[in-house]
């Protein structure tokens, strides 16, 4: 039973990882690539780790499951933070967006 | 179960190959940095998948350490792109 749940969760996670990486290849500029890849890959990796944790609890390996949950918490906290720092760094490095931006808060801040 | 894990591992290797393509092709430095960050997160997932085959949990310790090191490296690269030192 826990085997089946783990297989389903890991399949969902790998699917999200693949879609995020296709976004990383196909989208036109840094910011769109960043949002597609970061959101999809963070969710996918969290699903994989959740599947591993459920498998480990199912075969009575509690320390392994707790380690997987801790790793999931780390990924869930650190990956969006790193993406935010990267987006800010890319803007400050002067990378242009593809087409006119719909909303550009940094430019408004600079005008003020 | 083992066959499933190897198929999932192959899909993750395909993902990391796409990241490597973006690292090679990316026109600007931030493109490459984004791809390096994503590569780290994908390899954390791959390390976690190895536990299902080997039934040992030191790979999860490697995954935790890798997640934290990848985070610190990405923050440092972001600060570098912004043109500041690490402690500003």
> Nearest CA to CA, how far is B23 from chain A (Å)?
10
Q: What is the DSSP letter of B1?
A: -
φ, ψ of residue A34 to 5 degrees: the values are: -65, -45
A34 near B CB under 8 A: yes
Structural domain boundaries in chain B? 2-82
| CB atoms A21 and B15 under 8 Å | yes
B6 CB-near residues (< 8 Å, 6+ apart): none
DSSP H or E run through B4: helix B2-25
Mutate to test the interface with B, among A43, A53, A59, A82 (most CBs of B within 10 A): A82
Residues of A in contact with B12 (CB under 8 A): 14, 17
Alpha-carbon distances, residue B38 vs A11, A57, B47 (angstroms) = 19, 28, 14
Stretch A23-40: mean pLDDT: 90
pLDDT for res A2: 79
The rounded distance, in Å, linking the Cα atoms of A92 and A78 is: 21
Q: How many CB atoms lie within 10 A of CB B14?
A: 14
pLDDT for res A100: 83
The rounded distance, in Å, linking the Cα atoms of B88 and B71 is: 17
Mean pLDDT of chain B: 89
The rounded distance, in Å, linking the Cα atoms of A34 and A23 is: 9
Angle, CA B49 vertex, CA A22 and CA A55 arms, to 5°: 120
The rounded distance, in Å, linking the Cα atoms of B51 and A76 is: 20
| CB atoms A7 and B1 under 8 Å | yes
Predicted model pTM: 0.90
Helices (H), A27-60: 30-58
The rounded distance, in Å, linking the Cα atoms of B19 and B21 is: 5
- Give tens-digit pLDDT for B20-54: 999 998 788 889 999 999 999 999 999 999 999 88
Q: How many CB atoms lie within 10 A of CB A85?
A: 21
Residues of B in contact with A71 (CB under 8 A): 44, 48, 60, 63-64, 67
Are B16 and A19 in contact, with CB atoms under 8 Å apart?
no
- Give tens-digit pLDDT for A64-87: 999 999 999 999 999 999 999 998
The rounded distance, in Å, linking the Cα atoms of B36 and A28 is: 18
């Amino acid at each position: 039973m826990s085997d089946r749940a783990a297989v389903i969760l890991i399949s969902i996670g790998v699917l999200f990882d693949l879609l995020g990486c296709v976004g990383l290849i196909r989208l036109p500029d840094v910011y769109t690539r960043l949002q597609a890849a970061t959101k999809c890959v963070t969710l996918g990796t969290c699903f994989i780790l959740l599947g591993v944790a459920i498998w480990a609890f199912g075969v009575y390996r509690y320390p392994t499951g707790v380690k997987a949950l801790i790793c999931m918490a780390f990924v869930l906290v650190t990956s969006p933070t790193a993406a935010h720092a990267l987006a800010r760094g890319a803007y400050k490095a002067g990378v242009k967006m593809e087409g006119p931006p719909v909303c550009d808060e940094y430019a408004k801040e600079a005008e003020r | 179960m083992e066959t499933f894990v190897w198929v999932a591992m192959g899909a993750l290797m395909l993902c990391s190959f796409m990241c490597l393509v973006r690292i090679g092709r990316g026109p600007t430095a931030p493109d490459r940095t984004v791809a390096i960050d994503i590569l780290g997160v994908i390899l954390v997932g791959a390390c976690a998948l190895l536990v299902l085959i080997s039934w040992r949990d030191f790979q999860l310790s490697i995954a935790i350490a890798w997640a934290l090191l990848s985070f610190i490296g990405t923050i440092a690269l972001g600060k570098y792109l912004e043109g500041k030192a690490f402690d500003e």
